């Protein structure tokens, strides 16, 4: 009886332990969830740790060198970095596509003139952790609370002259103003991330 009680206690403790570990979700996060920290050691040897981004909020954008839904956003992303970079917002582009090798990612970033870092997410570790499925796909994390405060698209149209809703820009403006983000979850088409 004593043995059964002990085993039961161990089982309960084990179950509770697994629960707390599973805060490191493998099926993605909802807005409001606490996000696990991560570190990427990039191809240039620099390390990028989410909790250490030095920003009030970190904007993670899953990118691709080939996806036709990503390419039209170059100027808009450069504009966002210019607008918010000096306001305590860090933008990180992340490439998790197994079909896009590091050299291609480096050359593409150079061609596009990205002014923010593009990180290579080998074995799609960060993509899986955040639940990213497509490119482009945006996750904004409040670095103070490490919570996801915005998830979704950059804006509502890949063609810049047809945009009616600048969703990411609006979210960042709300955040900087100290306001709750009005629209914190949006959707758009994108290319599936080619994962290992």
Partner 1 sequence: MKKYIILLLILFIFSSISQAQELLPANKNVLDSIKSANKGKVILFNFWATWCKPCVEEFPDLVKLNEKYKDSTFKIVFVSLDFGKALGENTKAFLKKHDVDYTSYFNNFAKDEDLINYMDKNWEGSIPATFIFDKAGVLKKSFIGKQKYDDFKKVVIKYLK
Neighbours of 29 (CB within 10 A): 19
Contact between 125 and partner 1 by CB under 8 A: the answer reads no
Give CA separation, 97 vs 46, 79, 93, 107, in Å. 20, 25, 12, 15
**Count of alpha carbons within 13 angstroms of residue 158, beta-carbon side:** 13
Restricting to residues 54-73, which ones interact with partner 1 according to CB under 8 A?
66, 68
Reduced to 3 states (helix: H, G, I; strand: E, B; else coil), residue 29 is coil
Contact set for partner 1, span 94-123 (CB under 8 A):
99
Binding mask 175-194 for partner 1 (x = CB under 8 A): -----------xxxxxxxxx
Tokens of 25: 């979700």
Q: Is 133 in the site for partner 1 (CB under 8 A)?
A: yes
Query: Does 148 contact partner 1 by CB under 8 A?
Result: no
Q: Which is nearer to partner 1, 66 or 122 (CB)?
A: 66
Task: Select the residue interacting with partner 1 from 156, 170, 173, 176 (CB under 8 A).
Answer: 156
Binding residue count for partner 1, defined by CB under 8 A: 21
Which residue is listed with tokens 């002259």? 161
**What is the spatial distance between Cα 25 and Cα 34, in angstroms, rounded to a whole number?**
10
Q: How far is the CB of 186 from partner 1 (least distance, A)?
A: 7
- Is 14 within 8 Å of 133 (Cβ atoms)? no
Q: Return residues touching partner 1 (CB under 8 A).
A: 66, 68, 99, 133-134, 137, 153, 156-159, 164, 186-194
């Amino acid at each position: 009886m004593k043995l059964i009680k002990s085993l039961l206690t161990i089982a309960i403790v084990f179950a509770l332990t697994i629960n707390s570990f599973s805060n490191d979700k493998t099926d993605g996060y909802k807005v409001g969830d606490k996000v696990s920290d991560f570190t990427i050691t990039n191809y240039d040897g620099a390390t990028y740790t989410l909790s250490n981004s030095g920003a009030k909020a970190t904007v993670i954008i899953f990118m691709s060198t080939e996806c036709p839904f990503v390419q039209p956003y170059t100027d808009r992303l450069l504009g966002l970095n210019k607008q918010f970079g000096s306001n305590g917002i860090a933008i990180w582009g992340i490439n998790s596509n197994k079909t896009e090798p590091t050299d291609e990612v480096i050359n593409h970033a150079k061609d596009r003139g990205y002014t923010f870092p593009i990180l290579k997410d080998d074995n799609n570790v960060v993509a899986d952790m955040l639940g990213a499925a497509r490119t482009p796909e945006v996750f904004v994390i409040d670095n103070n609370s490490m919570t996801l405060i915005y998830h979704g698209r950059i804006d509502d149209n890949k063609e810049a002259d047809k945009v009616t809703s600048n969703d990411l820009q609006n979210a960042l403006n709300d955040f900087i103003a100290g306001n709750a983000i009005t629209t914190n979850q949006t959707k758009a088409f994108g290319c599936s991330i080619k994962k290992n």
